Amino acid sequence: MSPLFVIGLLATAALLLSGCQPKLQTGSAERPSFAPLGTHAVKYNFMPEKPNADEGEKIYQARCAVCHGADGHGEGPMAKTLVAPHKNPLTDTFALFRAHLEQPSLPSRPARFNNLDQMRLNSPFALYETIYRGRPHTAMPGFGHPSYGANDAGPPRLHTEETWNVLFWEWSRATTKAKLDAGQRIYEAQCASCHGLAGDGKGPKSDEIRQKIWTWGRGVGPGIFTDRDWMAYRKPVDLYQAVAQGVQRRGLKLMDPYAEKLSSGEMWSVVDYIWTFVYTPPADRR
């Protein structure tokens, strides 16, 4: 075959194939793109005021303990039998080549809420999302939106408030009463002068800070631990890092680093304590 003929053939094929491109649909007929989102918009204060971990525990024992264990250590009666649907490295590799093997799914291990390495990297909102949607390719079902996860159709199995209550019970498994008490002592002695006894940023030194930081005056933003929108998206490691390294902004020294003054254990207890400004810890942690 002459090269010219091959090129001609390819060009014709390309032309023919270009006719098969899918049409792009931009915008939808029912809702013009300029229409406001209405009820889809996220409400201010997504997280309710002071979720209650004791209330959460009731839900937890009824709906989560079968997998996560009564104490949250990941060893519920169902834990050993759980599998991750469609999860197997061997079948996944073959699927790349369109060969679908039949192999057993791999086990799926429920999260352990006393696992500090995991919990300190989680924000409350990350837990919220997991509970709401479930986690694809694991045994974790969705409890929120009716169309997510194992929760096909029907009303949500947990409402927003129940979800926040239950997630803060899980949250409380990563600390102890002794740590919260130690954290409170340190906080009241060393932090409350600025951040306020109630965590609301209204300590005796706050007037001075208010002149430097606009949000401090409005009672929202970093360092105001009753700002639940801010707290919902923070991870314990973020707070820890700020305490250890101090806070500076635009050359302005706002807070001293505490890494030299406090041990890492002390800094973790104060971080654990700070979360109690946004949730009510359960009876066994108070």
The 8-class DSSP code of residue 38 comes to G
- 279 binds ligand HEC per the rule CB under 6 A: no
Nearest residue (CB) to ligand HEC, 223 versus 281 = 223
Token pair 């169309």 is at which residue?
147
What minimum distance in Å lies between the beta carbon of 278 and ligand HEC? Answer: 13
Structure tokens at 105: 């799914």
Binder to ligand HEC among 53, 182, 194, 231 (CB under 6 A)?
194
Binder to ligand HEC among 127, 182, 231, 278 (CB under 6 A)?
127
Binder to ligand HEC among 12, 45, 103, 118 (CB under 6 A)?
118
> Rule CB under 6 A: which of 244-263 touch ligand HEC?
247, 254-255, 258
Exposed, middle or buried, 161 (CB in 10 Å: 0-12/13-18/19+)?
middle
CA–CA separation, 41 vs 43, rounded Å? 6
What minimum distance in Å lies between the beta carbon of 269 and ligand HEC? Answer: 10
Nearest to 170 by CA among 123, 133, 231: 123
Number of residues in contact with ligand HEC under rule CB under 6 A: 48
> Do the Cβ atoms of 167 and 272 come closer than 8 Å?
no
Structure tokens at 263: 């041990």
Cα angle for residues 182, 52, 49 (degrees, 5° grid): 100
Binding residues for ligand HEC, per CB under 6 A? Answer: 63-64, 66-68, 78, 82, 108-111, 118, 122, 127, 130-131, 135, 138-141, 143, 158, 166-167, 170, 190-191, 193-195, 205, 209, 213, 215-216, 221-223, 238-239, 242-243, 247, 254-255, 258, 270
